[in-house]
Structure 1
Amino acid sequence: MKLTRLALTAPALLAATACGTTIGPTASAGAAKPAETVQVRLPDPGNSGVLAVAKKDGSLDRALAAVHAQVAWTNVPVAFADSAQAIDSGQLDVAQGTIADGLGALGKRPGFTLFGVSQPDLMGEGVLVKNNSRLRTVKDLAGRKVAVDHGGTGEYLLLKALAKNAVPVGAVERVYLDAEHASLAFKSGEVDGWAVYGPPVAPALTHANAHFVASGRGVSSDNYRIWAVRSAFAEQHPEVVKALYGYLHEASTKAQGEPAAYLNVFTDSGPQAVAADQRGLLVDFGKGAAPVQPITDADAVRLEQVARLFAEQRLTDGPVDVRAHLLNVDTLPERAK
């Protein structure tokens, strides 16, 4: 089964000037028409990661210049739920997240398509418990409270952990909190566990004296990291999406080999900076992270498994047709016609 290929249509090409595109000065009669510069709107990357390096050294702009495009960094929050809304409203062109975080949006006729994935984070996500607690296994969570984000990665990880260890879903109380409030509740002991991934993990492991009672590897996570592009943008500028994917693949491969170079890109101090006692942990996570890849049929099967679990637990209104929102970047042209 082949993944979706977005077709270029005449209306889509005519609409390009109304969609993140800047036109050069008017050409004089008989002169060659100046190339259009396409603006690719991305969330501001903060202080760490592949896109932070891209912003600092201009490498992504140089890669996109070959297809007459450049980045426009926006102030849209990087949380995927916010980014998905910004894409749907036409304020953003590209965003990244996880499939668990994206399923809610995918089930509501979204204006975006997935064009790249990274294998699940087997080291940097899972269910945390305190080191000094009596909770030694997932089975010990029965009768306890665990903080999760509603309908997102945290809830997915907890459900996977419970299923793998034959613990009834109803035996554990899910406490729905955002990351900031979940961190406070976990530190104070208001909840016994915290299902979490991403930036909050390293501080929790170091400052909250916690450990994973079940990691991404331990729960056999299918929670792929995803890259989404506004569907209309992909139709109008497939060569830009192709170039962006190529950059992300190459840069994420380099980051896996030298993750320390992608931490504290702009500053070593302040609220966005990675603390010194967390750097070693994040370097280990980075070495275990997978580069961005095209979405294969095998990947699609695993994405569908996440969708099936969410449907079974009534976290979505029925099964989400994930394949209807996948784009095969290998089929995209490298140059505009």
Structure 2
Amino acid sequence: MKTKINRRQSLALGLSGVGGLASLSLSTPSRAAEALKEVRLDYAYYSPTSLVLRRFGWLEDDFRADGVTVKWVLSAGSNRALEYLNADSIDIGSTAGLAALLARANGAPIRTPYIYSRPEWTALVVRGDSSLRTLADLKGRKVAATKGTDPYLFLLRALHTVGLKRGDIEHVSLQHADGRAALEQGRVDAWAGLDPHMAASELGAGTRLLYRNVDFNTYGFLNVRDAFLQQQPRAVQRVILAYEKARLWTLANPSEAARILSEEAKVSLPVALLQIKLRTDFSQPLPSQTHVQALRAAAPILTDEQLVKPGTDLSRVVADLVDTRFAASLIRG
């Protein structure tokens, strides 16, 4: 699979080599931007382009000339990325869209100027020999899920489709990898999975997907702390362009990207290929009304399950979170 890259993209993204990014035609840096010493961002196995970007060192190459270092922090899930953002431990972090909305609704000062993927990264998983066949069968059962993440919110939305709520199951709060282990060891009846752990469990342990719904998988949001976006807009633009370089490289080299994911996440190449080639869409990087509407459709679960304060205007929170304008001049077909 090869992706055509036009001349403008090639120049803007510096795709003629794997060195630093091309110079940007951006406004003159502010005093705050000139004082920047470090850019802190996360990488995650659920965001393959972050792994590609980190592997090739394109951000390091770009910022080195300005004396700015790049610090990478591993996020094991959206909940961890959001904790790091809220604690000012990172400036830019990758999460699921609905998880970012929940965090913003509860006071996290973040904004989303870039979409790193549209994945089908979660489903409800059971053991291969499980007697559970439908969502209704989950009533009264132990289900593992990581709170504050897309799999957890996916679980709640799925339950609502058959008239069940969070209180109708026994929720076991475990980080994603631990949830997989608990399922395979028989300590829980089901698990709200996350790739690549989910794909590895399917291919390695023979687990099966009890319930899938791609529309309940919210997009991959690249979130920036409000303060960093205001003080360092040029740095954020440079990070977005680097992500674009990684996205286009991944589209043109999916097998090589899968190999990077395999090595970083320590999963087999077939597992990584399943995640990248069959379950991840990298075609919509610019935040748009599509993403706004997807969040608005998902938002009622946050109110129904009392995950936000009563009276919270979630439509306004969506508008405050999804920045459809910041990257518009950077990302064009």
Is TM (by shorter chain) over 0.5? yes
After TM superposition, the structure 1 = structure 2 runs for residues 1-337 of structure 1, keeping only pairs within 5 Å, are 13-16=30-33, 21-22=36-37, 39-43=38-42, 49-62=48-61, 72-75=70-73, 77-118=75-116, 120-122=118-120, 124-164=121-161, 166-169=162-165, 170-217=167-214, 220-265=215-260, 268=263, 272-285=265-278, 288-291=280-283, 293-318=285-310, 319=312, 320=314, 321-330=317-326
- Write the distance in 1 (CA, Å) between the matches of 2:109 and 2:49: 25
SS at match of 2:123: strand
Report the secondary structure of 2:255's partner residue.
helix
Aligned-pair CA distance for 1:267: 8.2
Residue 54 to residue 222, structure 1, CA distance change in 2 (3 Å): closer
Which shows bigger deviation, 198-207 or 323-332?
323-332
Q: Deviation at 1:127?
A: 0.4
| 1:252-302 CA distance string (max 9 Å, x none) | 24323432212343984xx8422245244234335x423452211231121
In proportion to residue count, which structure has more helix?
A: 2
Q: TM-score, normalised by structure 1?
A: 0.75
Q: Which amino acid aligns with 1:186?
A: L
Unaligned runs of 5+ in 2: 1-28
Which consecutive unaligned segments of at least 5 residues does structure 1 have? 1-11, 23-38
Structure 1 range deviating more: 276-285 or 253-262: 276-285
Residues 49 and 105 of structure 1, relative CA distance in 2, 3 Å threshold: same
Number of equivalent positions: 297
In the alignment, the residues of structure 2 paired with residue 273 and residue 193 of structure 1 have an alpha-carbon distance, to the nearest angstrom, of: 24
- The 1:232–1:257 alpha-carbon spacing in structure 2 relative to 1, beyond 3 Å, is same
CA radius of gyration, larger in: 1
Letter in 2 for 1:41: R
Q: Secondary structure at the match of 1:140?
A: helix
Deviation of the 1:70 alpha carbon: 5.2
1:103/1:69 Cα in 2 relative to 1: closer, same or farther (>3 Å)? farther
- Give the alignment's TM-score, normalised by structure 2: 0.76
Partners of 2:151 and 2:103 in 1: how far apart? 16
| Distance in 2 (alpha carbons) for counterparts of 1:52 and 1:312 | 36
CA gap 1:275/1:303 in 2 versus in 1, 3 angstroms: same
Task: Tell me the secondary structure at the aligned position of residue 110 of structure 1.
Answer: coil
Q: Which amino acid aligns with 2:289?
A: D
Task: Give the CA deviation at 1:72.
Answer: 0.7
Aligned counterparts of 1:305 and 1:263: Cα–Cα separation in 2: 32
Q: CA RMSD in A?
A: 3.2
For the residues of structure 2 that align with 1:280 and 1:58, how far apart are their CA atoms? Answer: 23
* Alpha-carbon distance, 1:195 to partner: 0.9
Supply the distance in 2 between the matched residues of 1:140 and 1:196 (Cα, whole angstroms).
18
